[in-house]
Structure 1
Amino acid sequence: MSHEPPQEPFEHAEHAEHAAHSGAPFLQIVSVTIAILAVVAATIGSLESFETAAALKKQSEANLLQNKTSDQWAFYQAKSIKKGLYSVAASQGGAQAAQQTAEAKRYDAEAREIETKARELEQEVDAHLHEAEHHEHRHHILTMAETLLHAAIAITTIAIVTRGRRWPWFTGLALAAAGVAMAGWSYL
């Protein structure tokens, strides 16, 4: 999920810069608006990248813990098998029955400790996966927010192309407000 910064907002900002030199006050306002929107879009794009990295990190940590969990369960099974073998041997009676019963109890205690550890690791895996999902969800919202800002920049640029029409500027401001609100909402 790598994220390359888009060049489009900067191209729009260049157009806005040229318009700003025209001297028309409204076009200067539009130009400044586009520059601000480009900075906000880039900032939200960076936040989106951070969330992607955080999701990948949590998923990797969950995978590593899942491997440890699998190892613990395999170790638990080995101890349980040994406990079973000693229990069967002890049930046969004989001179070593007491020692075999003690060994069965020891392996049972060890297996229980390992089971507890395996269950704790499973909970950690679930927690990391939950955090990864949270970061992924935030990433998706930030992607939509950034898209709204890119659309706002493009539409606001129409005000320059149409030599001062105000509807593209207002539309761009509305889209930008929606994008910023969406980005803020992603962190609530």
Structure 2
Amino acid sequence: MSHEHAPHDHLVEHAAHAGDPLSRWVAVFTAILAALSGLLHYEEGVLQTQALIFKNDAVLSQSKASDQWGYYQAQSSKGHLMELAAELAPVQRQAFYRDQIAKYEDRKKEISAKARELEKEVEEANRRSEAKEHPQHLFGQALAWLSVAISLAAITSLTGSRKLFWLAGLMGAAGLGVSVFAFMQL
């Protein structure tokens, strides 16, 4: 089983074996950021999956609500036909048609209530999806900051520039700060 290394892995390993204290700090720093990135990738994936599930629930409920409104329209059309039949029917048959009209009106009330309940489910599922999307986007931003920090740390290994390492530290701190904010949104 082969294991592929990211481009910066070789540099980090080389720096860890070198005698330079800066290289050791860069190696430790990069390892910490890589571990944090793994955690954030996982959390981002969980949130994305949850947001998609809620969005799927919203679409399914919307479809059911649309079906109910279609059924409502069918009952309404039948009711209108019964009204027409009542007007055209002989007096002795009009009571039958009036009963049918009442039956269709009762069904329409039930159907309408069910459709409205499904529409509330749509709103709730969309709200829950959006609640997952916001921290997911924050985790994505945090990962971007951490990726920049890891890249700068890798370049620091090559150049030995302490200023570049400080910049990598600032980028890593920004990623950490955004990720903490994202966790607070959960």
**Superposition TM-score, scaled by structure 1 size:** 0.86
Residue matched to 1:172: 168
In structure 2, C-alpha distance between the alignment counterparts of 1:141 and 1:19, rounded to whole Å: 32
2:159 aligned with 1:129: no
In structure 1, C-alpha distance between the alignment counterparts of 2:92 and 2:173, rounded to whole Å: 84
Please provide the CA RMSD for this pair: 1.9
- The alpha-carbon deviation at position 89 of structure 1 amounts to 2.6
Residue matched to 2:136: 139
In structure 2, C-alpha distance between the alignment counterparts of 1:150 and 1:13, rounded to whole Å: 13
Deviations 1:144-164 (A, max 9, x none): 11010000011122322123x
**Superposition TM-score, scaled by structure 2 size:** 0.87
Moved more, 178-187 or 35-44: 178-187
2:11 aligned with 1:18: no
Residue matched to 1:29: 25
Q: What amino acid is aligned across from residue 36 of structure 2 in structure 1?
A: V
Give SS of 1:186's match.
helix
- The alpha-carbon deviation at position 120 of structure 1 amounts to 1.0
Q: Of Structure 1 and Structure 2, which has the larger fraction of its residues in helix?
A: 2
- The alpha-carbon deviation at position 136 of structure 1 amounts to 2.9
Give SS of 1:70's match.
helix
Which structure 1 segments of 5+ residues have no match?
A: 1-6
Residue matched to 1:95: 92
In structure 2, C-alpha distance between the alignment counterparts of 1:116 and 1:180, rounded to whole Å: 48
Q: Which runs of 4+ in 1 moved over 4 A?
A: none
Q: What amino acid is aligned across from residue 48 of structure 1 in structure 2?
A: E
| Alignment of structure 1 residues 1-188 onto 2, 5 Å | 10-92=6-88, 94-163=91-160, 165-187=161-183, 188=185
- The alpha-carbon deviation at position 24 of structure 1 amounts to 2.2
Which structure 2 segments of 5+ residues have no match?
A: none
